[in-house]
Amino acid sequence: MYQWRKFEFFEEKLAGKCAIPDDVQGKIQCCSSGRGKVVIGSEDGAVSLLDRGLNFNYAFQAHSSSVLFLQQLKQRNFLVTIGEDEQVSPQQSAICLKVFDLDRMQPEGSSSISPDCIGILRIFTNQFPEAKITSFLVLEEAPPILLIAIGLDNGDIYCIKGDIARERITRFKLQVDGSSNKSHSSITGLGFKVDGQTLQLFAVTPTSVTLFSLQSQPPKRQTLDQIGSIVNVAMSDRSELIVGRPEAVYFYEVDGRGPCWAFEGEKRFLGWFRGYLLCVIADQRNGKNTFNVYDLKNRLIAHSLVVKEVSHMLCEWGNIILIMSDKSALCIGEKDMESKLDMLFKKNLYTVAINLVQSQQADAAATAEVLRKYGDHLYSKQDYDEAMAQYILTIGHLEPSYVIQKFLDAQRIYNLTNYLEKLHEKGLASKDHTTLLLNCYTKLKDVEKLNVFIKSEDGVGEHKFDVETAIRVCRAANYHEHAMYVAKKAGRHELYLKILLEDLGRYDEALQYISSLEPSQAGVTIKEYGKILIEHKPVDTIEILMRLCTEDRSSAKRESSNVAYLSLLPSPVDFLNIFIHHPESLMDFLEKYTDKVKDSPAEVEIHNTLLELYLSNDLNSPSILQAKNDVDLSLMVKLGTHVLSRAESNGKSVDDNKNLTKENDLLKRQKKGLQLLRNAWPSELEQPLYDINLAIILCLTNSFKEGLLYIYEKMKLYKEVIACYMQTHDHEGLIACCKRLGDSGKGGDPSLWADLLKYFGELGVDCSKEVKEVLTYIERDDILPPITVLQTLSRNPCLTISVIKDYIARKLEQESKLIEEDRRAIDKYQEDTTTMRKEIQDLRTNARIFQLSKCTACTFTLDLPAVHFMCMHSFHQRCLGDNEKECPECAPEYRSVLEMKRNLEQNSKDQDLFFQQVKSSKNGFSVIAEYFGKGIISKTSIATSGTSQTGNTSSASSF
């Protein structure tokens, strides 16, 4: 006991002026508390109720004589009392049990009131003989069912169970093995233990501790100890029986004696309050009584006070109430946690403070604050290891930076590492904490701990640290394997490849890793790191790209819809940027793709890119150059400085070889480009599978004549085709091209010959042979009139008249024949015109004699009535019907002429048709003359009045 430290965690309440009110008369026999009041039973049979602060509330007469025992129930506001009443007959005992309902008050007389007594019960009967009552306890099982245990001085326990108010009760008796000595078998204490459906009763005598199991019938008895006690007993909050003896205080559980605490002195009273053991000890040496409050968990005395002779001890209102024999009282309450901790901190009793807050189940924040102060105290004493142990316990409540700043010194890096490890274990570390911990590992070169931290397997993909931070720190410290492990476990494929490629240069392993990824992930990583892979492993990288863009992952889908299947795969266009510095590899990749995939959704973009690669003059061949450089280097190593000097002297030849290689490569690519232009524009398609404008620009920029000619010809831009030949002065090509494209019978453009003749006329060199050949085709198709030919060729001073002499002679002869034919036609037309005019004049001036004797329609003899027409046809009137104004024979021909005239007039309004005929005709003047000859465009009219008002006049002519 003397080893236990004493503290004043309790203090007197009510300013030390606490006493039983004078209204409570008579000697106090028993006390109870609950539901916010203290109940006192006196020897005069009165029961007094006291409010908070021991203020008198009211009193009532419960028994006619002394009140022996009472208990305030907790669940219902009932009071159960045992006392002496008037003896009705010598056979019946005067002691009876009463139950009062304190919520129901009945007036008694005019001056006082008393609670309603809802039940009165005689304790002793014939089956339960009378004996002295030594202990009393009530258990509220399920109100209104009560279980009352009454201990007697003869070792028997009378139990009454049921609803006393309705007198529905059962009685049974429990007997403790008593000795022959009556004083040794008296029941000194009782205690109920309820555990679920299990109900047990502790019974204490001076010579034994017994346990009864009440759920079994009959109740089962078990002796826990052969030593008892004469002092009252108490029950802890864990339903342990507390028994006090002179040498110690013992705790009993259902299986026997538990822990004991050695406190010297005679135990007068025992109690339990909020985890504290209450004990009034009498010191036989000085005759004083000491009231102690024991904190058994922390092994300290929370309060110690010398008191007078205590008659009763209660707990209510959060305080401990001691009632003395002289009716004085002490009200002792526990100090708040902050006051207790301040007291301990002043004495540097941090371990006690920690135990205190933990035992009293203080909140975690308060516990962490105590631990922090303890850590600060240890840190000030330079006990860094123990200080860190305290700081670690504050994780989750104390800001980590508070601790980290204290241990940033390099000499305390081990402590800092330990703290950061715990911080990560609890998942409370930030990116900065991860960085700091990894830096600690790398500074200590503790690879083993680094492995444990990095490779701890808490679950697939789970980490207690920030992944990117861990990878960054490991890379900076050259722990690349650890960084790769973290990246791979976290599924950060881009970081894993970044380490492999940028830090380690393990390209083969990177390619193998990419191949193992899902297609979508592989595509993302290739886009990000493809430039590095193409630079070092072009062949393998292209192989992976081919698998990504063409691999058959679903044969069923592909069979059902090839286009839909291809749309699900990555497009080669998505990976063009990785070939930015390696056009040769890009060309290889696209060629392989187009060979394997024929109906790609990105076919146009792929062909555009391939055309640019094929036709570019600046595209080099890295593989060829690299091979040549390797050969030259090996020769230099073998032949020494002599070879170097020789190479310098032959530098010009080396450059020539390089230029020749470059030229051959360009020719091969241009050949592929022309083949692509042709294959990507099949005859059945109106538009090619590439951008026409881009193809033309590429051909022009790179002077690719063959491709340009092919595109122009496919687009029917024949004039641009011959313009290309004219720029290169390729006369044979020009004439061959015009033969192919200038034949109108095959859909060509005959005007090309006119352009060709104009070209030779402006050439300024002797080209008689070519001109003669051109004139042959112009004459054959009658493309140009001779005067235009003469004017065009007259501009070339190098041409002589002999070139066109034969052509002019033939043309003059043809013109002479035409003139002769025209003269004959003119004479004929004039003769016909004269005849028509005479006939018209004759019709107007002379009478007509109709001599026909037969009807033109029916060929019968003509009789009256008859109709004669000026065309010399006669008809019966009946044969004409209603139409007597037209000759049936001549009307169709007349109407066809009128219809033809009407159509000509209608066509004269179609300007597009007129100009199209003029343009397409060999001689446009003939078309105009024909329109005038037919009288189509000779009519004019004055503009309408509405138009003339605006000051404008226009012709009504169609043109």
Taking CA atoms, 816 is separated from 66, 641, 812, 825, in Å, by: 171, 89, 6, 14
Per-residue pLDDT, 97: 92
More confident position, 814 or 657: 814
Give me the residues paired with residue 202 across strands.
191, 211
From CA 75, how far away is CA 194, in angstroms rounded? 15
State whether 42 and 190 are in the same domain. yes
pLDDT tens digits, 543-560: 878 888 887 544 434 444
Exposure class string for 401-427: b at 16+ Cβ within 10 A, else e: eebbebbeeeebbebbbbbbbbbbeee
Backbone angles phi, psi at 554, to 5 degrees: -150, 90
67 part of a folded domain: yes
Per-residue pLDDT, 903: 80
More confident position, 191 or 636: 191
State whether 112 and 177 are in the same domain. yes
Q: Which residues contact 188 (CB under 8 A, 6 or more apart)?
A: 134, 135, 151, 204, 205, 206, 228, 229, 230, 231, 232, 233
Per-residue pLDDT, 652: 55
Residue that is last in its domain, among 245, 267, 289: 267
Q: Secondary structure of the chain: what % helix, strand, coil (to 5)?
A: 45, 20, 30
pLDDT tens digits, 378-420: 888 888 888 888 888 888 888 888 888 888 876 788 888 888 8
For residue 620, is pLDDT > 60? no
Contacts 24+ apart (CB under 8 A), 450-455: 450/479, 450/482, 451/482, 453/421, 453/424, 454/482, 454/485, 454/486, 455/485
Q: Assess contact for 707 and 679: CB atoms under 8 A.
A: no
Beta strands in 317-362 (DSSP E): 319-324, 329-334
Question: Picking from 20-29, 648-657, 919-928, which range would have the lowest pLDDT averaged per residue?
Answer: 648-657
For residue 318, is pLDDT > 60? yes
- Token duo for residue 380: 């000030």
pLDDT tens digits, 470-516: 777 777 677 776 777 777 776 677 777 777 777 677 777 777 777 77
From CA 752, how far away is CA 717, in angstroms rounded? 11
Exposure class string for 670-686: b at 16+ Cβ within 10 A, else e: bebbbebbeebbeeeee
pTM of the model: 0.52
State whether 581 and 618 are in the same domain. no
Residue 190: pLDDT band (50, 70, 90) is very high
747-773: average pLDDT: 80
DSSP reduced 3-state for 275: coil
- Report the Cα 211 to chain-centroid distance in Å: 64
For residue 271, is pLDDT > 70? yes
Backbone angles phi, psi at 160, to 5 degrees: -125, 125
Per-residue pLDDT, 566: 54
pLDDT tens digits, 858-893: 888 888 888 888 788 888 888 887 777 788 888 888
**Short-list 624, 613, 615, 699, CA closest to 659:** 624
State whether 674 and 778 are in the same domain. no
pLDDT tens digits, 49-98: 999 888 999 899 899 889 999 999 998 999 999 999 887 777 778 899 99
From CA 97, how far away is CA 164, in angstroms rounded? 10
State whether 692 and 756 are in the same domain. no
Instruction: For residue 257, give the CATH number of its domain.
Output: 2.130.10.10
Helix and strand numbers (H, E) in the chain are 34, 31
Concatenating the DSSP letter of every residue in 162-200 gives EEGGGTEEEEEEEE----S-GGGS---EEEEEEETTEEE
For residue 372, is pLDDT > 60? yes
pLDDT tens digits, 104-115: 887 755 456 789
- Token duo for residue 687: 């538009």
Residue that is last in its domain, among 213, 235, 267: 267
782-805: average pLDDT: 81
Give me the residues paired with residue 72 across strands.
79
Query: Pairing relation of β-strands 874-876 and 300-307?
Result: unpaired
From CA 408, how far away is CA 585, in angstroms rounded? 53
Q: Please calculate the CA angle 228-231-237 and round it to the nearest 5 degrees.
A: 90
CB atoms within 10 A of CB 206: 17
From CA 959, how far away is CA 954, in angstroms rounded? 11
From CA 277, how far away is CA 232, in angstroms rounded? 14
pLDDT tens digits, 642-660: 333 333 444 455 567 777 8
State whether 670 and 701 are in the same domain. yes
pLDDT tens digits, 219-249: 899 999 988 888 889 999 889 999 999 889 9
Residue that is last in its domain, among 267, 296, 323: 267
Task: Give the total residue count for the chain.
Answer: 959
Per-residue pLDDT, 464: 57
For residue 686, is pLDDT > 60? yes
401 part of a folded domain: no
Concatenating the DSSP letter of every residue in 584-649 gives HHHHHHHHHHHHH-SS-TTHHHHHHHHHHHHH-SS---HHHHHHHHHHHHHHHHHHTHHHHHHHHH
Residue 946: pLDDT band (50, 70, 90) is very low
- Token duo for residue 53: 């602060």
pLDDT tens digits, 701-710: 888 888 888 8
DSSP reduced 3-state for 555: helix
Query: Pairing relation of β-strands 5-6 and 300-307?
Result: parallel
Burial class (CB in 10 A: 0-12, 13-18, 19+), 34: middle
Q: Please calculate the CA angle 303-305-306 and round it to the nearest 5 degrees.
A: 160
Per-residue pLDDT, 637: 27
From CA 113, how far away is CA 60, in angstroms rounded? 7
Mean pLDDT computed over every residue of the chain: 80
CB atoms within 10 A of CB 98: 21
Burial class (CB in 10 A: 0-12, 13-18, 19+), 942: exposed
- Report the sign of the C-alpha dihedral through residues 482, 485, 490, 491, in that order: positive
DSSP reduced 3-state for 73: coil
Backbone angles phi, psi at 332, to 5 degrees: -115, 125
From CA 941, how far away is CA 957, in angstroms rounded? 7
Q: Please calculate the CA angle 694-697-698 and round it to the nearest 5 degrees.
A: 85
Largest CA distance in the chain: 188
Per-residue pLDDT, 564: 55
Question: Picking from 12-21, 63-72, 134-143, 200-209, which range would have the lowest pLDDT averaged per residue?
Answer: 12-21
- Report the sign of the C-alpha dihedral through residues 351, 356, 361, 367, in that order: negative
Domain enclosing residue 805, as ranges: 740-810
For residue 639, is pLDDT > 60? no
310 part of a folded domain: no
Q: Assess contact for 413 and 444: CB atoms under 8 A.
A: yes
From CA 79, how far away is CA 94, in angstroms rounded? 20
Per-residue pLDDT, 957: 37
Residue 623: pLDDT band (50, 70, 90) is very low
State whether 762 and 686 are in the same domain. no
More confident position, 831 or 908: 831
Three-class DSSP labels, 452-503: HHHCCCCCCCCCCCCHHHHHHHHHHCCCHHHHHHHHHHCCCHHHHHHHHHHH
State whether 889 and 746 are in the same domain. no
929 part of a folded domain: no
User: Which amino acid, one-letter code, is at 556?
Assistant: A
For residue 760, is pLDDT > 60? yes
Element housing 779 (H / E): helix 768-781
Burial class (CB in 10 A: 0-12, 13-18, 19+), 591: middle
354 part of a folded domain: no
pLDDT tens digits, 129-161: 888 999 999 998 887 889 999 999 888 999 999
State whether 804 and 873 are in the same domain. no
Number of structural domains (the chain) is 5
782 part of a folded domain: yes
Question: Picking from 67-71, 292-296, 607-611, 945-949, which range would have the lowest pLDDT averaged per residue?
Answer: 945-949
257 part of a folded domain: yes
932 part of a folded domain: no
Exposure class string for 470-490: b at 16+ Cβ within 10 A, else e: bbbbbbebebbebbbbbbebb
Per-residue pLDDT, 558: 45
Q: Which residues contact 508 (CB under 8 A, 6 or more apart)?
A: 537, 540
State whether 578 and 690 are in the same domain. no
State whether 608 and 593 are in the same domain. no
User: Which amino acid, one-letter code, is at 866?
Assistant: A
Q: Which residues contact 67 (CB under 8 A, 6 or more apart)?
A: 29, 30, 41, 42, 43, 45, 46, 47, 81, 82, 83
Q: Which residues contact 169 (CB under 8 A, 6 or more apart)?
A: 121, 160, 161, 162, 163
State whether 592 and 524 are in the same domain. yes
Q: Assess contact for 893 and 886: CB atoms under 8 A.
A: no
Beta strands in 186-318 (DSSP E): 189-195, 198-205, 208-213, 220-225, 234-235, 241-244, 249-253, 256-261, 266-273, 276-283, 288-295, 300-307, 310-316
pLDDT tens digits, 342-361: 888 888 888 888 777 777 76
